[in-house]
Every structure is written in C-alpha cells, then in structure tokens.
Amino acid sequence: METLRQRFGRPLRLGVIGGGPASWIGRMHRSAAELDGWWRVSAGVFSSDVARSRAAGPLLGIDAARSYGSVEEMLRAEAQRSGDGIEAVAIMSPNDTHHSCAAAALDAGLDVICDKPVSETHAQALDLVARCRRRQRLFAVTHGYSAYPVIRHARELVRGGVLGALRLAQVEYMQSAMATRIEDAPATNRTRWVLDPARSGLALVMSAIGCHAQHLLCFVSGLAVARVCADVGALMPDRRVIDHASALLELSNGARGTFTAAQAAAGSENDIRLRLYGERGMIGWSHRNASYLTLALQGEPARTIGRGDAELSPAVIAGGRTPRGHPEGLREAFANIYAELAQERMALSLGEAVAPGPYPRIEDGAHTMAFIEACLASHHSGAWRDVAA
C-alpha cells in the first residue's frame, strides 16, 4: 500500500525566516525539515538587511530568485507563483519578530512552524491562536525536547496511569551560555538583540530556555500550570537582562512542582531534566542521556527504558531512525515535529482522516506566555499568581 508521502507525491514547500549562515538553529531547522523528505526548503528571508538577506540564500543552497529581502516580499512573490509557492513558513528570527511574521504568514494562508517564544506577550499569543482558527492553519512550536521518542513514551505512560495521580513535578534547565560577562565582549548581531530586554522578551531566560522546561513538564504530565510563586532576576551582577528564574508551581490537578531555569549556571551544558512523581512511582529523564528514561515504581526495581525498546508503541518507535544504541539527538527530535505537521497537512489536503500528532501547538505557546507573565507578576508582588487561561 502506498504511504501518505507517496499519495501526496512531493515534499511540502517551506519558506524560512531567519537562520542566516551564522545561526546554528537555522541549520538545525533546515536539515530537520528535509531529513525525512517531508519538506523542501524552497525560499527564505535570512536577515533584516535586504542585501544581506538576498546574498545569504545561495550560500545556504536556496535559489537566488527565491532569496528575498523581506518577509512581505517573500509572501507576496510566493503567492504569485504559478502553483509552486511556499505552503508554510519556519520562523527562527529574533524573538521580537515572531508574532508579526507568524501573523502575516497565517493571514497569507500558510502553516507556521515557529521557534519559541511565539510572541512577546500572552495577548499576542492569543491573537495567533485566533488567527490559526480563523484561517484553519496548523502551527507548530519547536520545543525539540518534547519530540524525543522516550519523552513521547513517558507521556503515554503518564496518560495511561502508570504512575497514578501525579503529586510532584521537578523540572530544570541549567545552561552556562551567560555564565561569563558576554556584555563586555565585542557586540555581535546576536548579542545586540539578545542583550536588549526590549527585543529578547519579558524575561530572557524564559524566552531562551525556561519555556522549554515549562513546556516539557506540561507536555509529559498532560497538566497546565495553574499558579506560581516565582523569583526572577539576574545571577550575574549588574546584568540588565534576566538570566535566572525559579518558581514553586501548582499544577492544574493540584499537584505541586518546582521549576528552575538559569543561563548563568557555570559548568552546565543545556542540562534539561524532568522528574514526575505519582502515587505509584516516578519517571525521570535527563538531556544528558536523552535516549533513555527511568521508570521506578514503588517496591519494584527501577527500569531503564530506551529508544527502540520493543514495548514502545509504533508511533513512538517511528520517532527513531536508527537501531537502538546508535545515538540520535535534538536534530532528529526537531525532524519529528516537522514530520508530524507535514503528515497532518498532507492528509488534510488529500481529504483523508488524520489523527493529529502530539507536536507542540500555538495553544501551548500561549500557555507559556501566560506562565512567563505570571512568574514576573509573582516576583514583583511577592505573592502567588494565577496563570491566565
């Protein structure tokens, strides 16, 4: 029997926004999109500078004629192509551009794959939710950690009640990217926007890594964050941007939790880690050992579950591409998000029944923005704050 990809007959056409030659996440997006043949990167805008943007495309293998000087130009020109214009955009430009680029793409009738944070405020994120629904478009947020196969398995275990009711969640993301005074180094295009609080977001650490930790907790537990009591600030003396946030959490089922995100944690290496404790046991995962999950049920020996183990569901096994034991990583996890959105779009286009994939959506991005705003409000008031619905 023919596969969905065969029935559709071609890859979907993607336009990228951001991710010029010096951006590592740009390479990650482009290669993840094309990894399994679901997408072809067909056009792009790679800089806020018109000439630099046009010059960058050919360096990345994009047709010069489809390497545009601005997002408006790309959307207009691609819409006028006869039948082979882009069908989605992937946004990986600075944080303060995400909302306007996503809104313009949705209004042009395109699906959106957007890097985090999806917007600068919760209100803007709700605006994207409304535009998506009005235009019936798909919207993925690239929280790559949520797409590791064993994270998907953890989610299935929790939803299947293996742990019983969840009682306690611990999530943290420790990073050393700002453990030195990068403010004192010569400015780069990147540090110019990252170190400007007006451009990098309400709280830099949340835009950069805290959003991944909060999303991972919600994704695996199936719970939202209902209330927070937070401490937000800078670990590095005299820093203008926020590099640390810790919070006590109350989850939507009443469970308790702790959250820590720090970019000035010297010696750490993108250490994201999750532990969930239910009435019958715990699940633990660390990015240091991303293909494995610990399941420890009360009174039983702890087990290590690996990507590719026979007991995993076919959907989870499909999230891996090599036999177990061969390392896979964040690129493959990103590719899972791209694959799931593509499969949904292709099935919808063919009029076929489709089970929506578990990839992070705009509603998740909106919850993250509400979480960030609640953490800041809690910090400033010194009291617990509700996370807006």
Ligand X SMILES: NC(=O)c1ccc[n+]([C@@H]2O[C@H](COP(=O)([O-])OP(=O)(O)OC[C@H]3O[C@@H](n4cnc5c(N)ncnc54)[C@H](O)[C@@H]3O)[C@@H](O)[C@H]2O)c1
**Interface with ligand X by CB under 6 A: which residues?**
17-20, 22-23, 25-26, 45-48, 71, 92-95, 97, 115-116, 142, 144, 189-190, 207
Based on CB atoms, which residue is closest to ligand X, 19 or 278?
19
Please, what is the minimum distance in Å from the beta carbon of residue 274 to ligand X?
16
Residues 180 and 86: beta-carbon distance below 8 Å: no
Nearer to ligand X, 189 or 252 (CB): 189
Q: How far apart are the first and last CA of the chain?
A: 44
Sheet of 12-18, strand order = 39-45, 12-18, 88-92, 111-114, 139-141
Q: Residue 194: CB partners within 8 Å, gap ≥ 6?
A: 94, 200, 204, 208, 241
User: What one-character-per-residue DSSP string does 275-312 give?
Assistant: EEEESSEEEEEEGGGTTEEEEEETTS--EEEETT-TTS
CB of 122 to ligand X, least distance (A): 17
- Cis amide prior to 117 (ω within 30 degrees): yes
Identify which of residues 250 and 363 has a Cβ nearer to ligand X in the complex: 363
| Residue 135 identity | R
What is the nearest approach in angstroms of ligand X to the Cβ of residue 22? 6
Chain centre to alpha carbon of residue 292: 20
Q: Please say which residue, 207 or 260, places its beta carbon nearer to ligand X.
A: 207
User: Which lies closer to ligand X via its Cβ, residue 61 or residue 160?
Assistant: 61
For the bound state, the minimum distance from the C-beta of residue 26 to ligand X, rounded and expressed in Å, comes to 6
**101 vs 46: CA distance, rounded Å:** 13
- Of 19 and 57, which CB lies nearer to ligand X in the complex structure? 19
- Min dist CB 45 to ligand X, Å, is 4
Min separation Cβ 308 and ligand X, Å: 24
Report the C-alpha gap between 54 and 256 in whole angstroms.
Answer: 50
Nearer to ligand X, 47 or 343 (CB): 47
Backbone φ and ψ for 197, nearest 5 degrees, come out as -60, -25
Smallest gap from residue 236 Cβ to ligand X (A)? 19
Q: Which residue, judged by CB position, is nearest to ligand X in the bound state?
A: 20
Least distance from ligand X to the Cβ atom of residue 340, Å: 16
Q: Which CB sits closer to ligand X, 47 or 378? A: 47
Please count the other Cβ atoms lying within 10 Å of the Cβ belonging to residue 344: 19
Please name which of 145, 209, 204, 200 lies closest in space to residue 172, comparing C-alpha atoms. Answer: 209
Name the minimum Å distance from CB 102 to ligand X.
12
Q: How far is CA 194 from the centre of its chain?
A: 18
Residues in CB range of 255: below 8 A, 6 or more apart: 165, 166, 167, 168, 169, 221, 223
Between residues 44 and 308, which has the closer beta carbon with respect to ligand X? 44
Take residue 264 and report the two structure tokens written for it.
Answer: 């000035």
